[in-house]
Amino acid sequence: MQTSPPCPLHTLASTELAAAATDRRWPKWQTMALLRTLRLPVLNACLLEPGRSAPEVGAAARVLAAAIGTERLMIRSDGGVEKKRYHRGGNTFPVEEIPSRAAGLLADGRAVILAEPTNRFTNRLTVLVRMDRPGPRRTGTLTLEALGPGYDVADLTRGQLPPQVTAHLDGVDWARHTPPRWHEWRFTGDRCPGGETARRRRRLQRLATQTLADSGQLDGPAGPAHAEVWLRERGFGQLFGPQPTREALARYARRLFEDAFLLALAQPNRNWHCLATAFSVFDSARTVYWDLVDGARKYAATAPADRDEERIA
């Protein structure tokens, strides 16, 4: 049976987006389609399900790259309801390398998401947005955890770096839109032991042993000093400059509340208790949402040990 070629997310018709936004087989792709449906900013991307051949992967990569005018693409993967340990992703590669880079993931039964490349070393602001409520028709909370220039989403979601600033809002009625007043927000400053120096070192350690190692940028044993040299040689000095994170988060707080409320209303699981999404402000000032995670549906019930490997927020 001949299968249709994958299409870039931003070219999908409204009926195709609606179908993708309710397809729970691939949660990351599902929420990217939902974000696109709600007209919230999301990277252009395409989905490659397991079973795609190398020529099909290469053709899809070339179509997406041509659509966005690039010679490199980001590779992410989607395992459905996660049963195994986390597969790191988010690195970018030349288009011609995409088929070989994606082969192992597809062979492992994971879908591959090809997306626009981003520079994860120059972000202006990274925010983890968490929505909680004890149950339907009960008020809950909104929590924003933020990191400033030079950090990225994985630092909060998988690196477990303490945020520089946290904004908390109590008494949120997720079924009735009531914009918060400024005095209702509670902002908490840096609580990282050792302060910004310790946090920056942990960021550099992650870059050296994971991000740069996975993409082949650093070979052999490497530590924070190697990552710092790599960043500075390429002009990526944002991590070492001022960190005006509190002011930046305050500017986006109202917008993040509005978007979180919209996402909560659109969530297919009406009995949700905890939702989380990630928000980035790139160096170009472009903003992007990544995924929407429903804590009740993130992991399979058969994998309690693996659930401890990655926190929701």
pLDDT at residue 214, rounded to an integer: 76
pLDDT at residue 217, rounded to an integer: 77
Q: Which residues of the chain fall below pLDDT 50? A: 1-2, 84, 299-313
How buried is residue 164: exposed, middle or buried, by Cβ count under 10 Å (0-12/13-18/19+)?
Answer: buried
d(CA 249, CA 147): 9
pLDDT at residue 86, rounded to an integer: 52
Q: Amino acid letter at 291?
A: D
Structure-token pair, residue 142 = 């909104």
